[in-house]
Amino acid sequence: MKFGIDMGHNAPPDTGAVGWAKEDDLTKAVGNQVIDKLEALGHEVVNCTPRRASSVVDSLRRRVSTANARNVDLYVSIHFNAFNGRANGTEVFAASSAGRRYAQPVLNQIINLGFYNRGVKNGSHFFVLKNTNMPAILIECCFIDSWRDRNLYGTDAMVNAIVKGLTGQEPPQAQGGGSEAGGSGEVTRDEQVLKLQQQLNRLRVRDRNGKVLVEDGLWGSNTASAVARFNDLMAIRSDDSASAATWKALEDIFEKPILRQSHATGKAVRYVQFRIGTAIDGIFGPNTARSVRRWQASVHITADGVVGPQTWSKLLG
Ligand SMILES: [Zn+2]
């Protein structure tokens, strides 16, 4: 089979989105490895990415004309998505029923990596899908402004999923041992997840089963459920992902501010209210002060109703 591979953008002024990585870097990294692996499996591949372009429209025209001139059997355009920091997952576009037959297995393989399934979608508005003469698909691998997707993403795994979806064949190992490290578009996957797990455990925010999180740096449904619980306690609308607001709230709490009646509001107050078992409204009023005193007495520290160093060390110790 003869594939036409289009690494999205990479032809200024046709440049892509920017988030935790640059779309251009990722489409290039994924595209080059997809080409290598398809060739290793015995397929013919035409790289349809232009080196330069005079405009975005020119960039798109060049891709299409290469594919049409070389008469590829399937045109595959590789992109990464960006929206509002909360949207996440994978979608694959096609503009014909023939295209859809290729789109579905590629989507299925990528979803197997844990990305949210946004479905196969009608892509007849995409220039490259509309103007190529053969079946064509456009893969939005995942969102480069989604923290959740960042933690799921690895170039090798994405490449293998695409190659497997396109061919039904098992992709060969990458040369050099298939390391995830290196390359300009790579991300450090685990440190932020690990930090999140450690902090949530320290805050005693449990997962959906009431369990302590495993501190393995891997994003999974248990960690997601604890993040969702924390966001809920903090009145942050981020579903089950850790947004900037989530990190800010964690920071506010770990600053251990001194909290006293009528002089404190905000995330740290919400957290204290959660721990001492009183109504969570983020306002340190007389009811909260009374509950703090009761809680302080129960853990045998001075019952002064002020959340200071001693109380914080009991809360977070
Ligand atoms: Zn793009």
CA of 23 to the centre of ligand 1 (A): 7
Count of domains forming the chain: 2
Average pLDDT over residues 68-81: 97
Question: Are residues 241 and 148 in contact, defined by beta-carbon separation less than 8 angstroms?
Answer: yes
Q: Which residue has the tokens 């809360």?
A: 315
Average pLDDT, the chain: 90
Residue-range definition of the domain harbouring residue 36: 2-167
Other beta carbons within 10 Å of 210: 6
Q: What is the pLDDT confidence band of residue 219, given thresholds at 50, 70 and 90?
A: confident
Same domain, 160 and 223: no
Same domain, 115 and 245: no
Instruction: Say which range, 97-106, 169-178, 252-261, has the weakest mean pLDDT.
Output: 169-178
153 within some domain: yes
CATH code assigned at 220? 1.10.101.10
252 within some domain: yes
pLDDT at 238: 67
What is the distance between the alpha carbons of residues 271 and 133, in angstroms, rounded to a whole number?
Answer: 59
pLDDT at 224 over 70: yes
Average pLDDT over residues 219-223: 84
CA of 54 to the centre of ligand 1 (A): 17
CA of 2 to the centre of ligand 1 (A): 23
In this prediction the pTM is 0.59
pLDDT at 212: 94
Angle at 135 between CA 131 and CA 139, to 5 degrees: 85
List Cβ<8 Å contacts ≥24 apart for 188-193. Answer: 189/150, 189/151, 189/153, 189/154, 189/217, 190/151, 190/217, 190/218, 191/217, 192/147, 192/151, 192/242, 193/151, 193/217, 193/218, 193/219, 193/223
Same domain, 147 and 230: no
154 within some domain: yes
User: Is the pLDDT higher at 37 or at 191?
Assistant: 37
186 within some domain: no
pLDDT at 83: 87
CA of 122 to the centre of ligand 1 (A): 16
pLDDT at 176: 46
User: In Å, how far are 140, 237, 265 from 228, measured between CA atoms?
Assistant: 26, 9, 22
Same domain, 152 and 207: no
CATH code assigned at 122? 3.40.630.40
pLDDT at 33: 95
CA of 298 to the centre of ligand 1 (A): 57
Same domain, 133 and 255: no
CA of 81 to the centre of ligand 1 (A): 6
CA of 241 to the centre of ligand 1 (A): 23
Sign of CA dihedral 200, 204, 209, 215: positive
CA of 167 to the centre of ligand 1 (A): 23
- The fraction of the chain above a pLDDT of 90, given in percent, is 74
Same domain, 148 and 225: no
Task: Give the tens place of pLDDT for each residue, 156-192.
Answer: 999 999 999 999 999 987 654 444 444 434 444 567 8
